[in-house]
Amino acid sequence: MSKPPRSATPEPGVAAPESAQGGASLAGKSRSSFFRPFHSPWPERAALACCALVVVSFLAVQVYDLDIWWHLVIGRDILATGRVPQHDLYTVAGFGRAYHDSHWLFQVAFAALHAAAGWVGVQAGAALLWFTTLFLVFRTCRVVLPALPSALLVMVAALACTERFLPRPELVTYLGTAAFLYGLGERRWTTWKVQASLVGLQVVMTNCHGLFVVGPGLCGCLFLEELGLRLQSKPSRWVAALGLGIATTLATLLTPSGFGTWSYAWLLFQEVGSHAATTMKQLGELSPTFGPAALAGAAAWVYIGLLAAVALTLPRLVRHYRWLSLYALAATAMLAASLTGRRNIVFFALAAAPLLARQVAAWNVWKRPPPRWFPIAAGLLAAACAAWPLSGKYYDFMNLAGRAGIGATPSYFPYGVSRRWRQTGFHGPLWNSNDLGGFVLFSSFPAMLPLSDGRWEIYDPQEIEAILASPASPALWTRLAQHYGVKGVLLSHGSREATGLLPYLSHAPDWHLDYLDAAASFWVKDEAASHAPSASANLAASARGTKPARVADALHLDHYFELTGDLDGRIQNLKSALAFGERQPEILPLLAGLLLSRGELAASEAAWNQYLQLRPDDPAALNELAFFAYNRGDRARALHLLEKAVQLSPNDASARENLKRLQSGAEH
């Protein structure tokens, strides 16, 4: 079948040279007046600034990542010893096992940043990687679109990436993805400088993260484009594209592990999907893309919006034989990757923006200049997005303790426990919540090692699954604790380990609380304790009177009081949480129920009334308040409240039964 004639307007995937001033390409130049400032340049400039502010607002967040701690320790160790570890030296459960450190270059770089500027250096490094990544996406869109629509596309892509705005080694792979998409497009790759830059970048990617295969994969997309769309022209083009793919593939071997790097990449591929190990399926970042955990966050819905936008472009791609273009192939491959796990959503977002830019540029739909309010409205929308994280409401929505600011969050990590260890001379062995493994390593290496951390690949699968499952069975946990000679237990309040172990440890005669703060509790076995049991017993009591620094701290501590059965401590702590004026709809029902269980009916009713002011149409609150009104003898108010509850929620069996009883009693 013969191909249709090419139109005068370049289609997506066809080279479109930029103007000498770096403006829109020939594909978008005739339509760029739609986005240009009208009468004054300030509306568009203000809108561009607001788009940039959105990215800044999400990146200016305190460090709350759990893995960066062990990355920094291993980076410091590499700098000190001058060698990349081949066996695990950093955990008890994995000690001596073969260890492929695919992140060593990232670890060294961020360890140097931390040594130079502390956590501010770590934040700056992550922000720089993301700014460079998004700027390259912007430049890729800018080839065919003016500045404002390009910035809006990048802003939407960035919103889909916000869950990965963390100091992690995959940031280098994200940067590499954006750089390859820019460098391979519009014939830029044909120059030797760009080719050398991409090969050099591939070496860096391979030594920073296990998903380095993105580079050769994108070169494969370029080869298919050249082979399928330009076969009738110069053969040297697709031969050169094949050569670039071979060069980038060979560059992946320039690592301390050589061919072993590809074995590790295959291991990472096996971590996701239905065939993955049980341990891997429990990780939030590897959870299903459309699963409940992902859909509870805002980023997944932006991703779905991008997916829908790309789907709308498919008919045009097929109709104009552009489905073999670089950006269409890249978006398809990244879509497939994004479906394997939540963390891979970013790859699709980075590839979708350039594809959508080329589709938008090819649609000649604007016949006249737009209203003057367009850039102003775009800027206001962007400013509203920026206000969400800066106010802290985004982190409340995501149930994260991090906030906009500088440094590491004070709410996730027990910073004072290392000082306690030095005071008492505690050197382990230590059983720790897995999410605190990196923090323990950072605080105690090399004197003491955590039992485990987040480097799942280094452990024997059966051993690590037994360690993670044992807190649910005190008998199994006791046997494992004896096997490892455990003398101390460090538990973050919200961890699975705390859920299983705190009820046991708080009543075990041979374990005593030695340290407690809003993040974690530390317990010691009798023979390891260096203080009187009465003193350790007073720690929980003293924590009751300590005002938390943040509402998140109080809610973390609430888990501890709940699991240890400390009703008084829990009530006092929740009252302190209310004083912040945040998350009250979450706190008040908890407090009201606890006050009722202690027999403080008036205080419980007051808490429910306060909650009803915030949620006036909550059937559960109406039902509870009807109970209090009935106990006071106010049958009329009880009847009114129950009637309203049933009206709001006809299927509420409890409210309907209470109303029926009350009406029956009134008739008699």
> Which CATH number covers residue 658?
1.25.40.10
pLDDT in tens, 96-134: 999 989 999 999 999 999 999 999 999 999 999 999 999
* Mean pLDDT across 461-475: 92
So what's the pLDDT on residue 13?
Answer: 39
Asked if residue 603 belongs to a domain, the reply is no
Instruction: For 491-536, give the DSSP string.
Output: EETTSHHHHHHHHHHTT-TTEEEEEE-SSEEEEEEGGG--S-HHHH
Q: pLDDT band at 288, cuts 50/70/90?
A: confident
What 8-state DSSP symbol labels residue 16?
Answer: -
User: Are the C-beta atoms of residues 168 and 155 closer than 8 Å to each other?
Assistant: no
141 with 248, same domain: the answer is yes
Same domain, 492 and 356: no
Q: What percent of the chain has pLDDT over 70?
A: 84
Domain end among 544, 568, 599? 544
Query: Does some domain include residue 77?
Result: yes
Beta strands 430-432; 520-525: pairing state: unpaired
Q: 35 pLDDT band (50/70/90 cuts)?
A: very low
Domain-located, residue 399: no
Contact indicator for 154, 353 with CB cutoff of 8 Å:
yes
One domain, residues 288 and 340:
yes
Same structural domain, 383 and 421: no
Question: CA neighbours within 13 Å on the CB side: how many for 605?
Answer: 13
How many domains does the chain contain in total?
3
Contacts of 645 (CB under 8 A, 6+ apart): 619, 622, 623, 626, 652, 655, 659
Same domain, yes or no, for 347 and 217? yes
- Domain match, 380 and 424 both: no
pLDDT at site 231: 54
75 close to 108: Cβ distance less than 8 angstroms? yes
Per-residue model confidence (pLDDT) at position 370:
62
Both 379 and 490 in one domain: the answer is no
Residues 6+ apart with CB under 8 A from 587: 551, 555, 574, 577, 578
Looking at the chain, the whole-number percentage of residues with pLDDT higher than 90 is: 60
Residues 524 and 627 in one domain: no
Position 286 pLDDT exceeds 70: no
**Residue 446 binned pLDDT confidence (cut-offs 50, 70, 90):** very high
One domain, residues 228 and 284: yes
Q: Are residues 367 and 450 in the same domain?
A: no
Residue 339 falls inside a structural domain: yes
320 has pLDDT over 70: no
Give helix then strand counts, H and E, for the chain: 30, 4
In a shared domain, residues 209 and 288 = yes
Distance CA 50, CA 36 (A): 16
Give the global pTM: 0.88
> Own/partner pairs for 94-101, CB < 8 Å, 24+ apart?
94/452, 94/455, 94/458, 94/459, 95/449, 97/458, 97/459, 97/460, 98/458, 99/455, 99/458, 100/257, 100/260, 100/261, 100/263, 100/264, 100/457, 101/74, 101/256
Cβ–Cβ contacts within 10 Å for residue 633, how many? 9
Asked which of 518, 544, 570 is the last residue of a domain, the reply is: 544
User: How much helix, strand and coil, in percent to the nearest 5, is found in the chain?
Assistant: 65, 5, 30
Would you say residue 49 lies in a domain? Answer: yes
Q: What is the pLDDT of residues 593-622, one digit of tens each?
A: 999 999 999 999 999 999 999 999 999 999
Average pLDDT over residues 443-463: 92
Using pLDDT thresholds of 50, 70 and 90, give the confidence band for residue 12.
very low
pLDDT at 632: 86
Q: Is the alpha carbon torsion for 223, 226, 231, 235 positive or negative?
A: negative
Residue numbers of the domain that contains 641: 617-668
Least confident segment among 29-33, 43-47, 519-523, 527-531: 29-33
- Give exposure, 73-110, as e/b (b: 16+ Cβ within 10 Å): bbbbbbeeeeebbeebbbbbbbeeeebbbbbbbbbbbb
- Is residue 37's pLDDT more than 90? no
Check whether residue 381 and residue 451 sit in a common domain.
Answer: no
In a domain, 596, yes or no: no
Q: Which residue has the higher pLDDT, 290 or 625?
A: 625
* Domain finish residue from 519, 544, 569: 544
User: What is residue 3's predicted lDDT score, i.e. its pLDDT?
Assistant: 41
How confident is the model at residue 8, as a pLDDT?
36
Question: Cβ–Cβ contacts within 10 Å for residue 586, how many?
Answer: 14
Asked if the structure places residue 597 within a domain, the reply is no
- The pLDDT of residue 7 is 38
Does 599 fall in a domain?
no
pLDDT for res 537: 55
The pLDDT confidence band at residue 325, using thresholds 50, 70 and 90, is confident
